[in-house]
């Protein structure tokens, strides 16, 4: 028996280097939904961005698909402590959808079919950090994971990535969404472990 090397102090295990504090890795893709899965017919589906003055920009399903898309590969972190690394998506960057929108607002309230909502600073939807995703791992996004389309904003805890996304309202003040009203953090940075209000 040789001496077991426990690793060098201060050197991070490459397998967990991308794991925020308090998280564990899962190979699965758990489904977390606060209510039943809504079914939205594609010819009824709309996505809209509503400015703080009430002006609205809307897209049909066909119009969304015609916009240039990206294929981000990102790590996702649920506040219930599972993380999944290297998930593969396809979707339209929010930068593209916000481009025609004239706004002075600083906050976004994201609304879903089915009634879910979540809030975040508008800046967190810009800069290539957020997408309206409609494919996962090379397939159409399954309904239980938010299909036909969900918000994907992986640098925040995954409750911010609203499934069955319907629209984004822009506001001058931060408006708490579903979980934020129940005591979860208004921002939710996994690297700063912002799980609950006050963290
Ligand atoms: N509309 C809607 N979006 C939602 C939720 C929800 O209940 N309803 N749950 C959130 C939470 S807590 C998490 S962890 C992720 C889970 O996404 P998944 O079911 O695809 O893993 O979706 C988020 N988006
Ligand atoms: Mo979650």
Which residue out of 26, 32, 75 has the highest number of ligand 1 atoms within 8 Å of its CB and is therefore the one to mutate? 32
> What whole-number distance in Å separates Cα of residue 169 and Cα of residue 148?
20
* Residue 91 within a domain: yes
* Residue 13 within a domain: no
Give the residue among 67, 184, 85, 87 at the shortest CA–CA distance from 145. Answer: 87
Q: How many domains does the chain have?
A: 1
pLDDT band of residue 17 (cuts 50, 70, 90) is confident
Give φ, ψ of 3 to 5 degrees.
-75, 130
Q: What is the pLDDT of residues 56-71, one digit of tens each?
A: 999 999 999 999 999 9
* Residue 37 within a domain: no
Reported as half-sphere exposure (CB side, CA atoms, 13 A), residue 192 has a value of 12
Task: Say which CATH number the domain at 87 has.
Answer: 3.90.420.10
* Residue 87 within a domain: yes
> What would the two tokens of residue 171 be?
């506001």
* Residue 8 within a domain: no
* Residue 33 within a domain: no
Query: Residue 148: is the preceding peptide bond cis (ω within 30°)?
Result: yes
Whose tokens are 């593969």? That residue is 88
Q: Report CA(88)–ligand 2 centroid distance (Å).
A: 18
Q: What is the pTM of this model?
A: 0.94
* Residue 198 within a domain: no
Q: Which helix (H) or strand (E) holds 165?
A: strand 165-171
Q: Which pLDDT score, from 0 to 100, does residue 16 have?
A: 77
Reported as half-sphere exposure (CB side, CA atoms, 13 A), residue 68 has a value of 4
Residue closest by Cα to atom 9 of ligand 1? 33
Q: Is 31 in the pocket of ligand 1 (CB under 6 A)?
A: yes
Ligand lying nearest the CA atom of residue 163:
1
**Residues, Cβ < 5 Å to ion ligand 2:** 32, 78-79, 159
Which residue out of 89, 119, 159, 185 has the highest number of ligand 1 atoms within 8 Å of its CB and is therefore the one to mutate? 159
Ligand 1 atom having least distance to the Cα of 112: 1
Q: Is 190 in the pocket of ligand 1 (CB under 6 A)?
A: no
* Residue 150 within a domain: yes
Q: What is the pLDDT of residues 137-192, one digit of tens each?
A: 999 999 999 999 999 999 999 999 999 999 999 999 999 999 999 999 999 999 99
Instruction: Give the structural domain span for 97.
Output: 20-27+45-192
């Amino acid at each position: 028996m040789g001496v077991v090397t426990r690793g060098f102090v201060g050197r991070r295990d490459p397998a967990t280097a991308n794991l925020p504090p308090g998280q564990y890795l899962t190979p699965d893709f758990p489904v977390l939904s606060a209510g039943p899965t809504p079914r939205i017919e594609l010819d009824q589906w709309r996505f809209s961005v509503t400015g703080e003055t009430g002006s609205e920009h809307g897209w049909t399903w066909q119009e969304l698909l015609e916009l240039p898309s990206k294929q981000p590969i990102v790590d996702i972190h649920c506040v219930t402590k599972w993380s999944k690394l290297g998930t593969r998506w396809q979707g339209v960057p929010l930068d593209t959808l916000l481009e025609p929108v004239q706004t002075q607002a600083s906050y976004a309230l994201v609304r879903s079919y089915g009634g879910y909502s979540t809030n975040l600073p508008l800046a967190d939807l810009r800069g290539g950090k957020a997408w309206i995703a409609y494919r996962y791992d090379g397939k159409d996004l399954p309904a239980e994971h938010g299909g036909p389309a969900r918000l994907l904003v992986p640098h925040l805890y995954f409750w911010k990535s609203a499934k069955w996304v319907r629209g984004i309202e822009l506001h001058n003040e931060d408006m708490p969404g579903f979980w934020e009203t129940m005591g979860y953090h208004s921002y939710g940075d996994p690297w700063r472990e912002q799980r609950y209000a006050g963290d």
